[in-house]
Each structure stands twice: as C-alpha cells, then as structure tokens.
Amino acid sequence: MSVLFCRDIDMLNLQHLLSRFGLSILFVDDKQAIPGSWFGDSEAGLIGNNLYIRQDTPVHSALHESCHFICMDQQRREHLHTNVGGDYDEENAVCYLQILLADFIPEMKQARMLSDMDEWGYTFRLGSSRAWFEQDAEDALAWLLEHQLIDQQQKPLWRIRH
C-alpha cells in the first residue's frame, strides 16, 4: 500500500497538533506490538491521553485514533484503553475531523488523507472518501458543530468534547 506513514512526516508537526488537544505521542519500537491498538499490526493505539505509534503507523490511523479521543465524551475518555466505543454518528464525525486535521500535517493535507483512506479500505456509501466528504457528510459536520469542536468555517476550536 502506498499510504503515508509516520516515518514520512516531520513528527514535530504531529506532536504539536495533538498536544493542543492534550494528547501525547509515545513511540513504539519497530515490530513491537502497539499498546492500545484495536486493530493491531501497525495501527495506532490509545490508552488514556497517550497515542501509541510506530514508524510504520499510517498517518491516517494516528489522526483517526486521535480524533476518537477528541470526539468521545469525558466518561469514556477517563477509562480509555484500546476500545474507543462510540456510535455511528460519532464515527462519522471522527472521519470528518481527521480529514480537517490533515491540513495541519504539511506532508498529508486533505487530498492525501482522502486518498489514503480509500487506499486503506475506509468505505462510504458514495464509493469514495472524497465523495462522502463533499456530498454526504452533512451529519458529521453538524455533529462536530453541535459539540463545538469546529467553527462554521470548519476550523478546529482546539478543544475536546465535554
């Protein structure tokens, strides 16, 4: 697969972005299991406010798991270990937010995020991440606005859900 991996970006940008939400990045040695990873392999993991990644973790996975932390309610966040839970609406909001946050990673940006999501196998009823984001994600946008995670211009408000 030709997705962008954490080894391919300036990690300081990712660290700065995630620290604005109270998340810390913990690096795992190559070939070691990633703590808190729901899917295993190279997928990012979450335990508390710690995001676990390896060099071969896809950037989309790091952002996706981070957006789960941002979007979940405080009760789930307090007990967060591997399983992020949530419902269908929250999952859509997570996907939408990860696309918005991709613009803060210079090597990624939104176009690459959408491509990587398709390459990795994210599925949307319109057939692609881009089609979903541009034509079918009004509910996800509304969810993010309702929970005051982004503003009307779709810019992050740099807070987590309360």
Residue 125 burial (CB count, 10 A): 7
Average pLDDT over residues 12-27: 98
For 66-87, the pLDDT digits (tens) are 999 999 999 999 999 999 999 9
For 112-138, the pLDDT digits (tens) are 999 999 999 998 888 999 999 999 999
Hey, what long-range contacts does 81-85 have (CB within 8 A, 24 or more apart)? 81/36, 81/46, 81/47, 81/48, 82/36, 82/37, 82/38, 82/45, 82/46, 82/47, 83/38, 84/38, 84/46
pLDDT score at 1: 63
Confidence of residue 143 (pLDDT cuts 50, 70, 90): very high
How far is it, in rounded angstroms, from Cα 101 to Cα 58?
15
